[in-house]
Amino acid sequence: MTDGTKCVACGKSIPEDSPFGSCVQCLAKVAFGRGDAETSTLPVAEVQELFPNLVILDRLGRGATGWVFRARQPDLQRDVALKLLPADLPDGNGSLAERFILEARTLARLHHPNVVTVHDSGRAGGWLYLLLEYVPGGNLRKLIDREQLPTVRILEMAGQVCQALEYGHREGIIHRDVKPENLLVDDQGSLKLADFGLARSSGLGLSEPGLFASSGGLGTAYYAAPEQADGKKVDHRADLYSLGVVMYEMLTGELPVGHFRAPSVRRAEARGEVDRIVLKALQSDVSLRYQSAGDMKRDLDRARDKYRRGEEGGIEEHAGAES
């Protein structure tokens, strides 16, 4: 903790026990990626002071919900991910803290091999924290930016996401933010669904106008189902649309924006089964979309098995689709 009564970043008067000698406004700028180069890092040594029972190893990154560090639990001899968010944010950002707490409570309900596990949560100093399973392979975004994945692996990975979604939907949880950044790759190459900060119970329809208009990063519009982006009521089928966007991007390197073409236009081997699966997931009309993650998973498994046997996915041609 830094002593003094002035913010180290802006010089504003602050309480002496302010986290890292910074005011809440500057902490928010840094946490959400809006700080300058000199104030955009959170020193490992100072984080270590807050968590004496952990060994803070390195900083993994920073995003819309704060910083993430890799840490070690010496007694258990395991690495964990430590996620931090300033507890006292400026007016107008309180919902971010609420989402952080929501994520902890949601993950605590879920126990599935394709969902990131939460170990602990709470408050330390001026910070909310989540202690999560550490997934060593980074996120799917880094993987697909680095290499073009074979079609059969894309089908396998999409099936793993379907398993996570099917389980969550069965538990009454809609993720609402399925995108490559929230899909983590484990040391076996399998995917784990993470970041449940936008999750909601599916007991009732939800309406959140303006959700994607915020500069704070409350969701990613390109991966959102049309009804979600428009602030209308959503159900579990919105997650399946988002998975369709992820698959489209993995197959083509593009996003299905506007009048988009079938994946096979960019990847010929996707013609037939794969085209059909992706285009069905991307239907704007929810009644024409997959009605459950289980149904989508069955089609993915069938297509995957055909590719493993070296069979053609089919010969059906697909016209472009409106999104």
For residue 11, is it within any domain?
A: no
Residues 218 and 92 in one domain: no
Could you say which of 177, 235, 239, 275 is catalytic? 177
DSSP state string for 36-69: -TTTS---HHHHHHH-TTSEEEEEEEEETTEEEE
Domains identified in the chain, total number: 2
* Res 2: pLDDT: 44
Answer yes or no: is 12 within a domain: no
229 and 245 belong to one structural domain: yes
Instruction: Give the relative orientation of helices 273-281 and 237-252 as an angle to the nearest 10 degrees.
Output: 130
* Same domain (yes/no): 64, 157: no
Q: Return the CATH number at 198.
A: 1.10.510.10
Confidence at residue 92, expressed as pLDDT on a 0 to 100 scale: 53
pLDDT digits (tens, 9 = 90+) for 167-187: 999 999 999 999 999 999 999
Amino acid at 154: I
- The reply to whether 122 and 230 lie within a common domain is no
Determine whether 301 is an active site residue. no
Residue pointed to by tokens 């993915």: 300
So what's the pLDDT on residue 195?
A: 87
Tens of pLDDT, residues 287-314: 999 999 999 999 999 999 999 888 655 4
Q: Indicate the residue among 108, 133, 158 that finishes a domain.
A: 133
What phi-psi label fits residue 30: left (phi over 0), alpha (psi between -120 and 50 degrees) or beta?
A: alpha
> Residue 256 has what pLDDT?
95
Give the per-residue pLDDT at 316.
37
Whether residue 66 is found in the same domain as residue 212: no
The structure tokens listed for 140 are: 């799917």
pTM of the model: 0.79
CA distances from 145 to 159, 223, 251, 254, 295 (A): 21, 17, 12, 11, 29
- With beta carbons less than 8 A apart as the criterion, state whether 164 and 152 touch: no
Write out the two tokens for 13. Answer: 């008067």
Domain endpoint, select from 75, 110, 133:
133
| 247 in any annotated domain | yes
Spatial separation of the C-alpha atoms in residues 242 and 283, rounded to whole Å: 11
Averaged in consecutive runs of 10 residues, what is the pLDDT profile of the chain (323 residues)? 56 63 50 42 88 96 80 97 83 67 86 95 91 95 96 98 97 93 95 86 41 40 91 93 98 93 95 97 98 98 92 43 44
Domain that holds residue 211: 140-322
